């Protein structure tokens, strides 16, 4: 009659909880980035996260790269090019002539 109490007191099945809790200090990588103004920023990334090529410098907003001696060039001041500007740049005079010649050929029934 006393043996039943002994089993109940040991709480069989409530095993140690330590295993699942250990993940709280997941490994993180601290990566240094340098901007063109030589500011260093060291964001940390989860070990399985993809490290970006560039990181925006929190101090000046320039793009920062992982190569301290070759930081990415700040390109923020570059004027934004419209689609039309790209088209104009691409379509040279030679292209225009070729298009014209093709149109003329079509008119003559050569194509």
SS3 content of the chain, % helix, strand, coil (to 5): 35, 15, 50
Task: Report the greatest alpha carbon distance in the chain.
Answer: 113
Task: List beta partners, residue 63.
Answer: 56
- Which C-beta is closer to Zn ion: that of 11 or that of 76? 76
| Shortest spacing between CB 67 and Zn ion, in angstroms | 15
Give the residue ranges of the annotated binding site for Zn(2+).
35, 39, 57, 60
- Which C-beta is closer to Zn ion: that of 60 or that of 100? 60
Residues at the interface with Zn ion (CB under 5 A): 35, 37, 39, 57, 59-60, 62
CA nearest to 70, candidates 33, 31, 29: 33
| Shortest spacing between CB 96 and Zn ion, in angstroms | 44
- Which C-beta is closer to Zn ion: that of 38 or that of 91? 38
Which whole-number Å values give the CA distances from 49 to 22, 25, 27, 28, 52, in the listed order?
Answer: 20, 15, 11, 9, 9
- Which C-beta is closer to Zn ion: that of 57 or that of 72? 57
| Shortest spacing between CB 19 and Zn ion, in angstroms | 43
| Shortest spacing between CB 62 and Zn ion, in angstroms | 5
């Amino acid at each position: 009659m006393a043996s039943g109490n002994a089993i109940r007191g040991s709480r069989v099945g409530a095993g140690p909880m330590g295993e699942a809790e250990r993940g709280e200090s997941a490994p993180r990588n601290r990566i240094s980035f340098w901007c063109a103004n030589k500011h260093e920023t060291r964001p940390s990334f989860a070990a399985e996260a993809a490290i970006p090529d560039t990181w925006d410098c929190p101090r000046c907003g320039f793009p920062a790269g992982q190569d301290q001696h070759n930081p990415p060039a700040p390109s923020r001041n570059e004027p934004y090019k419209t689609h039309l500007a790209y088209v104009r740049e691409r379509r040279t005079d030679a292209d225009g002539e070729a298009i014209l010649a093709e149109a003329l050929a079509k008119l003559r029934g050569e194509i």
